[in-house]
Structure 1
Amino acid sequence: MTAQSSGGSTPGTTVDQNPIRRRGTGLRALDAAKASAGLTLFAPMHGDGTVYLVDLNGTIVHTWRMPYPPGLYGYLTDRGTLFYNGKIPNETFLGKTPFKGGVALEADWDGRILWEVRQPNHHHDGRLLKNGNVLFLCATELPAGIARRVQGGQPGTEVNGRIWADYLLEVTTDGRPVWEWRIWEHLDPAEYPIAFAENTRSEWTHGNAIVELANGDLLISLRNISTILKIDRKSGGVVWKLGAPMLSGQHAPTPLPNGDILIFDNGPHRVDQTFPFSRVIEVNPATNQIVWKFQEAFPPNFYSDRISNAQRLPNGNTLINEGQFGRFFEVTPAGEVVWEYVNPYFGPASRPPQTQTNSVFRVYRYTEDELARARHLI
């Protein structure tokens, strides 16, 4: 017999059966003298499309209500608008996953939609480029000959005998395609096996992030092969890469002003450790060496096996999103926690059924100047 908590409410009990909610949500800690000023933006992954801005005290200052549930997050653009990735389900393999996207849009401070563009193969991430176009992270079925070269994963777990993989698609805001990049034209599946033995073979690479760099080149994070690539935008060639053993199922590579890259290294299957744990690392891409990291003294105390991100703040602190548990916290360069907030908004999980989750894909903090631009005050 196996006993399992429902993760929600149970008739006849006065005790909340959701362990995250039971431990406490909302503001959990604040050292106002050391925390970086600003408002924190997040969209609960399993919510109704509401995007929240909260202050350091955990008070809601502003919300946007988007017409689609998150697919999977939103952020403020340089011009102060909200760029939002939404979810539109369909009957494909992607449509049955928790990371399905389908639409990107731009909204003003009051939630008015300025434009939207749909792409049924979109998942995880989409970005507003500096040229005003949209870059979608997409997936499709691999050509059969290439799929046969994919190594790793559980045999027999393909999708109707097929394996999916990632491609990038740039479109105008009215949906016109202008550029495409396909992972299988640049990496050999035999050299980049699925990293985790218990993973299914439904996907080869499982991209989870795309980032435009200052010079127009791109970063892409590929969770299933524990690899980050830098793509030369003009040639399409891979000009830099980082992988295992440093990385394990990572998310959200973020370029820093000093040229380094901040990465949420999830750590579900570390090849050099016997147990899983997460950490945030800052890597110098010229040397591929870690120059700063945050992890708990007892490493398993900080662990999100999926989603999550980190952001370097203006005062040198780092905002960390332990996304699986909706926990956001800020640390100093020395690793001292100076702010902590747990997302209090729960929704029905994609799996397992009948559970409630407060997961958050990404979190960002914005300064008063950035928020003033969003409000059209400057």
Structure 2
Amino acid sequence: MNIFKHTPLTALIFIWVALSNCATENLNFIGEIVATSDSSNELRMHIDFEIDQKSSAYVSYWTETNPDKIFHSQLSQSDRSHHLTLVGLKGGTTYQYQVSVSNVNTSIQSEVEKFTTSKFPINVLHLRWEPEERTGLSGYILSQRRLVNGVIFMIDDDGDVVWYQQIPKQPKLSHWTARHTILVLYGAATHRNSSGDHIVEYDLYGNERFHLNLSELDIPLEAHHEVRFDENNNLLTLVYQHKTFDLSSIGGKQDQSVMGDKIVRMDTAGNVLWEWSVFDYTNPLKDSTILRTAEDWSHSNSLSIDSDGNYLVSFRNFNQVWKVDSKSGKVLWKLGKGGDIEMEPSAQFSGQHAFHVNPEGDYMVFDNGRQNRQTRILTYQIDEANKKATVGLKLQLPENLYSDRMGNAYLMDNDNMLVCAPRTNSLVIMNQKGEILGKAHVGIPDPYRAEFVRSLYPLDHVRD
């Protein structure tokens, strides 16, 4: 019997639409979910699957030994075929995972699957933690091993290496960006320890977002100590500048070459948009040490952006930090020995590195303490109108963490500090009382800097 024989046409149309909508509300996996190891990196895993309708998807994953600590992939946007790469994995570990899929109508989850990662290659990084409890880390540590063919790496809050990227030459420094990528400056071993001619932005999956070879520019540059994005995603870096001076009046040569520093702002194609030279704001002839320091006179070693958008540049050899107007280039103040900011003598620094504004709004500096061989962490509040600095934190590091060069101290989310003490190959987590909560040795050669990374990427798509 045909149950629709005497049904009005409008009712048949309504039934057809309702049945069609019901059909589209159901999502289904087509075939198997496939997990494949990344052939070039043991700490990445690819997850591939197909859905019968366009949908968005992500993967949740956890170790078999700690199922309560759940990680999530980034979101694969609306499509039927999905390819997701999991990062932040430990080597030689079995994971369980589950795929979550959704569209405007409904959502589904797969069965729980599993995979096992290959062992982490020990030759990449010889990481050793001291017996202290590895506590106090609330995210990740990003650092670098500066071998001729080196590596940049990240450590998780368990103290394990969970991410690395091989670098074709010697990585001089690495910097975590607001774009959830890593800027790397690298060069040949023949470059100075902190300088190179390649600036590359890597994403977490090993892809180069851009690659700038400074040696191939119309006017070649040699960058050093710093590379970062400004608010417009232009590059800021320090570059060496050579200029000839007549130093015969003080016992030098008539054509003495003096090496100073420039700040350069450029786009990712290498077009220079703005530059600033230390030579325009101070004269080497007025420096009584110039005959000894001409080959590396000013030695700027960090460049950061103040909360008002102006630049903070550290000059190790001057024992000073300058604030530079990012538009006019005017020097707004000089903090340190012989500067124009009043400060108590005990808060003076020497050979300093990594001057920046911390998340609490204080100026923070790693005082290498070359003058008295005592490395410290210092913070300041600066009254710019009255040119006066008030010291806050004044923490002396243990003698076995003394670093006459390189290094940094950064606040983490939990108010603990991440300290890089390169001369002892140490990455240290400590509280603001100076108590060490964790200390790792990362082998030779020493790292230049270590940064705190709160999270690998946004997770707004993850359902509670």
Mark yes or no: TM-score above 0.5: yes
Q: Find the aligned partners of 2:131 and 2:267 in 1 and give their Cα distance.
A: 43
Give how far 1:191 is off.
5.0
Q: Does 1:366 align with 2:447?
A: no
1:234-249 matched pairs, under 5 angstroms: 234-244=327-337, 246-249=348-351
Give how far 1:26 is off.
1.1
1:25-104 matched pairs, under 5 angstroms: 26-31=128-133, 35-46=136-147, 48-70=149-171, 72-88=172-188, 96-104=191-199
In 2, are the aligned partners of 1:101 and 1:124 still within 8 Å (CA)?
A: no
Q: What is the aligned partner in structure 1 of residue 303 from structure 2?
A: 210
Over alpha carbons, which structure has the higher Rg?
Answer: 2
Equivalenced residue count is 318
In 1, are the aligned partners of 2:314 and 2:321 still within 8 Å (CA)?
A: yes
One-letter identity of the residue aligned with 1:266: N
One-letter identity of the residue aligned with 1:144: F
Q: What is the aligned partner in structure 2 of residue 109 from structure 1?
A: 204
Please give the secondary structure, in 1, of the residue aligned with 2:238: strand
Give how far 1:267 is off.
1.3
One-letter identity of the residue aligned with 1:335: G
Q: What is the aligned partner in structure 2 of residue 223 from structure 1?
A: 316
Give how far 1:331 is off.
1.4
Classify 1:320/1:148 alpha carbon distance in 2 versus 1 (closer, same or farther; 3 Å).
farther
One-letter identity of the residue aligned with 1:285: I
Q: Find the aligned partners of 2:146 and 2:289 in 1 and give their Cα distance.
A: 26
Classify 1:62/1:96 alpha carbon distance in 2 versus 1 (closer, same or farther; 3 Å).
closer
Q: What do the CA deviations read for 1:177-235 (whole angstroms, capped 9, x no partner)? A: 1101010101233555549x9x6431210111111223321011111111111101121
Q: Does 1:282 align with 2:382?
A: no
Classify 1:99/1:377 alpha carbon distance in 2 versus 1 (closer, same or farther; 3 Å).
farther
Q: Find the aligned partners of 1:171 and 1:148 in 2 and give their Cα distance.
A: 37
Give how far 1:105 is off.
1.2
Q: Find the aligned partners of 1:191 and 1:282 in 2 and give their Cα distance.
A: 30
Identity score, percent: 26
Q: What is the aligned partner in structure 2 of residue 319 from structure 1?
A: 418
When normalised by structure 1's length, the TM-score is 0.76
Q: Does 1:125 align with 2:226?
A: yes
Please give the secondary structure, in 2, of the residue aligned with 1:372: coil
In 2, are the aligned partners of 1:46 and 1:359 still within 8 Å (CA)?
A: no
Q: Find the aligned partners of 1:67 and 1:99 in 2 and give their Cα distance.
A: 16
- CA-based RMSD of the aligned residues comes to 2.8
Q: What is the aligned partner in structure 2 of residue 303 from structure 1?
A: 402
Aligned pair partner of 1:265 in 354, 361, 367? 367
Q: What is the aligned partner in structure 1 of residue 352 from structure 2?
A: 250
Classify 1:179/1:365 alpha carbon distance in 2 versus 1 (closer, same or farther; 3 Å).
same
Aligned pair partner of 1:162 in 257, 263, 273? 257
Please give the secondary structure, in 2, of the residue aligned with 1:180: strand
Give how far 1:46 is off.
3.2
Classify 1:233/1:240 alpha carbon distance in 2 versus 1 (closer, same or farther; 3 Å).
same
In 2, are the aligned partners of 1:279 and 1:302 still within 8 Å (CA)?
A: no
Q: Find the aligned partners of 1:87 and 1:343 in 2 and give their Cα distance.
A: 21
Q: Find the aligned partners of 1:43 and 1:115 in 2 and give their Cα distance.
A: 20
Q: Find the aligned partners of 2:201 and 2:266 in 1 and give their Cα distance.
A: 14
Give how far 1:57 is off.
3.7
Q: What is the aligned partner in structure 1 of residue 93 from structure 2?
A: none
One-letter identity of the residue aligned with 2:209: L
Q: What do the CA deviations read for 1:231-289 (whole angstroms, capped 9, x no partner)? A: 011211111211126121111102123331110111112xxxxx412111112222323
In 2, are the aligned partners of 1:221 and 1:252 still within 8 Å (CA)?
A: yes
In 2, are the aligned partners of 1:207 and 1:223 still within 8 Å (CA)?
A: yes
Please give the secondary structure, in 2, of the residue aligned with 1:247: coil
| Structure with more of its chain in strand, by fraction | 2
In 2, are the aligned partners of 1:102 and 1:118 still within 8 Å (CA)?
A: yes
Please give the secondary structure, in 1, of the residue aligned with 2:296: coil
Please give the secondary structure, in 1, of the residue aligned with 2:295: coil
Please give the secondary structure, in 2, of the residue aligned with 1:361: coil
When normalised by structure 2's length, the TM-score is 0.63
